Amino acid sequence: NPHLEKMKEDILYHFALGTGTHDFPALFGDVKFVCVGGSPSRMKAFIAYIAEELGLGSPGGDYPNICAGTDRYAMYKVGPVLSVSHGMGIPPISIMSHELIKLLYRAKCSNVTTICIGTSGGIEVVLGKTVIRNTDLDEQLAKEVVLGKTVLRSTNLDEQLAKELMQCGKEIGRFNTVIGNTMCTLDFYEGQGRLDGAICLYNEEEKLRYLKEAYDSGVRNIEMESSVFAAMCNLSGLKGK
């Protein structure tokens, strides 16, 4: 975005951080991995786990929320790993991604790998299986709306990273891991063919036919954020999965 160069101060509103008040290179310059997930408490538990795995655990075991000035998102950091919550669905992960990319840019980070983790619904996938996404399939196409016009953007993710994660899964041996396509929906109930929402104008047979069609086109899980996250990784040159 060429407009960024003209700005005196860049305020990341939804992180409650700004270049005028925070020293981005000092705070974030060493970041090499960004892991994002829906729930703030889960991303806090994740950073505590990562700290322990990397031998960087804090004595009290407490990790301060870098975005404590807002209740929109939570952010934690240990060594080269940043852990950020993104809420549920495309709009909040889109806002988070805009501000995260600007944060990494202002902090002059390089060679950053981003990984989107979280729960998803599996299609004919054994419970507990981990799905590494290959390509994101939006409900119809991977599209965003810019100035009222629909724009199509590629949601292909890094193939090499998928292979590396698959290899990690095999080495750990505790997870049943597959690589598959992910379907990204705008809603949890009607968007995913669930029968237990407040409104449901289809029957079980129609639901199963819909899920079978998705499975036949390579879809192995359904969630609500992947397409825009993938598109923004692609556009901004971040290696993502």
Shortest approach of its own copies to residue 7 CB, angstroms? 7
Q: Which of residues 211-230 bind its own copies (CB under 8 A)?
A: 213-214, 224, 228
Closest CA relative to residue 121, chosen from 51, 24, 189: 189
- The answer to whether 223 touches 234, Cβ cutoff 8 Å, is no
- The answer to whether 165 touches 179, Cβ cutoff 8 Å, is no
Amino acid in the structure at residue 136: D
Residues 29-48 as x/- pattern, contact with its own copies by CB under 8 A = ----------xxx-------
Q: Which of residues 106-135 bind its own copies (CB under 8 A)?
A: none
Instruction: Read off φ and ψ for residue 92, nearest 5 degrees.
Output: -65, -35
Structure letter (DSSP) for residue 210:
H
Q: Which is nearer to its own copies, 129 or 143 (CB)?
A: 143
- The answer to whether 82 touches 28, Cβ cutoff 8 Å, is yes
Number of residues that bind its own copies (CB under 8 A): 61
Closest CA relative to residue 135, chosen from 197, 68, 189, 180: 180
**Is 239 near its own copies (CB under 8 A)?**
no
**Is 68 near its own copies (CB under 8 A)?**
no
Q: Where do contacts with its own copies occur on this chain (CB under 8 A)?
A: 1-4, 7, 10, 14, 39-41, 71-72, 87-92, 94-95, 97-102, 105, 139-140, 144-148, 150, 185-191, 193, 195-202, 206-207, 210, 213-214, 224, 228, 232, 235-236
